[in-house]
Amino acid sequence: MSSTSHPTLGPLHAVHVLSGAAGAHVSSLAGGLVARGVEVTVCGPAASEGDYAFTRGGARFVPVDIGRRTAADAPAVGVLRRMFTGAGVVHAHGLRAGLLSAVALGGRRVPLVVTWHGADAPGDGGIMLRWLERRAVRGASVVLGVSSDLVDRARAHGARDVRLAPVAVPRPVARPPRPPADGERRRHRTRAEFGAVDRPLLLAVGRLEPRKGYDVLLDAAARWAGAEPRPLVVIAGEGPERGALKRRIEAEKLPVRLIGRRDDIPELLSAADLVVLPSRWEARALIAQEALHAGVPLVATAVGGIPELVGEAAVLVPPGDSAALAGAVTALLGDPARRGTLTAAGRAQAASWPTEDDTVAQVLSVYDELIQAS
């Protein structure tokens, strides 16, 4: 099937539902579907339109509160039920979005596709999360798991049809080429912002929550606090753990800065010596993909879909092991040749991943199959 046209799906109306995660992917996918003649409606938190501009790509956006609060379920289901009228397929992104979509569909003969992105760590959250996993995957016509471990878990939960569907990283906005000197000035300016002109700069990006393992990263930072020059860690992101992390950084005088949510990740990557991903679980972490695309050496935990994502193009350590994390970072900072090897390997690995066109083509194929069977 061509990734640029699909004549049988011209009149199709696809409704995408998201609960907050995977907004960049949904924006990319919606734009690709619209370009191929599919009518797309995106239902999600009001703030997500400002963050991901679904309407800029030609989709319709409807704000729906699909968060973690069960009190919001009834109003959300009501809105979704209205939005699903006339839909040819519903595509939910995330477990909660999948469950509420199944409830809103009721007995309608409309195919439901659920992409499991892994915003919630499998097994984390106890009985309630396992119940949510089972209900969400069993209610779907097809489950698309973004990593092999999620595919296996969905099958174990009794999903009818599960397929591996790694999602592509949205391509960065094309910019005019810059002279090397200009790039070096920008890099120097970014490093100077954090006081890291003459010291290693480590970058971590992600929501400040327990699953991301920032407590372990702080443990590792304490281990290299006496190194000379002393590496500086900058963590870009916001979340419920910010207060606790900030108090610990200040109390222990750790070489770590919380810089909040940033919209200049490419500039941060260009300035960083290493990217560190200390998560307790990930599917296809966006920052890992961005790091390899940018040629920035990556130290990450060997969890979830990370090993199959990065292959041999990153240094992997066990989750929760601050000594291993600190040792891997220290060794890599002291080995320029190894960093150069990882830079080349990272770009080669990134070139092997699915493109946005590949992702759109796979989703269109699934839609077509489901519609033909309905």
Do 156 and 213 fall within a single domain? no
Q: What is the pLDDT of residues 256-308, one digit of tens each?
A: 999 999 989 999 999 999 999 999 999 889 999 999 999 999 999 999 999 99
pLDDT digits (tens, 9 = 90+) for 154-164: 999 999 999 99
28: containing domain: 7-168+354-373
Would 136 be classed as within a structural domain?
yes
Nearest 5 degrees, angle CA 66-CA 362-CA 205?
Answer: 50
**Do residues 169 and 349 make contact, with C-beta atoms less than 8 angstroms apart?**
no
Same domain, 12 and 125: yes
- Structure-token pair, residue 99: 């469950």
Residues 185 and 283 in one domain: yes
For residues 347 and 240, state if they share a domain: yes
pLDDT at 4 over 50: no
What is the pLDDT at residue 192?
93
Tell me, yes or no, whether 2 lies in a domain.
no
Instruction: Please provide the average confidence, as pLDDT, over all residues in the chain.
Output: 90
Task: Tell me how many domains the chain contains.
Answer: 2
356-373: pLDDT as tens digits: 999 999 999 999 999 998
Residues 297 and 201 in one domain: yes
Contact (Cβ atoms closer than 8 angstroms) between residue 366 and residue 163:
yes
Same domain, 344 and 364: no
Supply the CATH number for residue 60's domain.
3.40.50.2000
**For strand 60-63 and strand 39-44, is the pairing parallel, antiparallel, or unpaired?**
parallel
What H or E segment, with its residue span, contains residue 210? none
Class of residue 107 by CB neighbours under 10 A (exposed 0-12, middle 13-18, buried 19+): exposed
CA dihedral 173, 304, 210, 45 (to 10 degrees): 50
102-128 pLDDT, tens per residue? 999 998 999 999 999 876 555 555 677
Scored b (16 or more CB within 10 A) or e, 145-171 reads bbbebbbebbeebebebbeebbbbbbe
Q: Is the peptide bond before 229 cis (omega within 30 degrees of 0)?
A: yes
Residues 204 and 231 in one domain: yes
Q: Is residue 102 part of a domain?
A: yes
Statement to judge: residues 205 and 158 lie in one domain: no
φ and ψ at residue 72, rounded to 5 degrees: -90, 0
Q: Rounded CA gap, 250 and 265, in Å?
A: 25
Is the same domain home to 125 and 200?
no
Q: Are residues 145 and 210 in the same domain?
A: no
For residue 200, give both structure tokens: 């290693």
pLDDT at 235 over 90: yes
What's the pLDDT at 74? 84
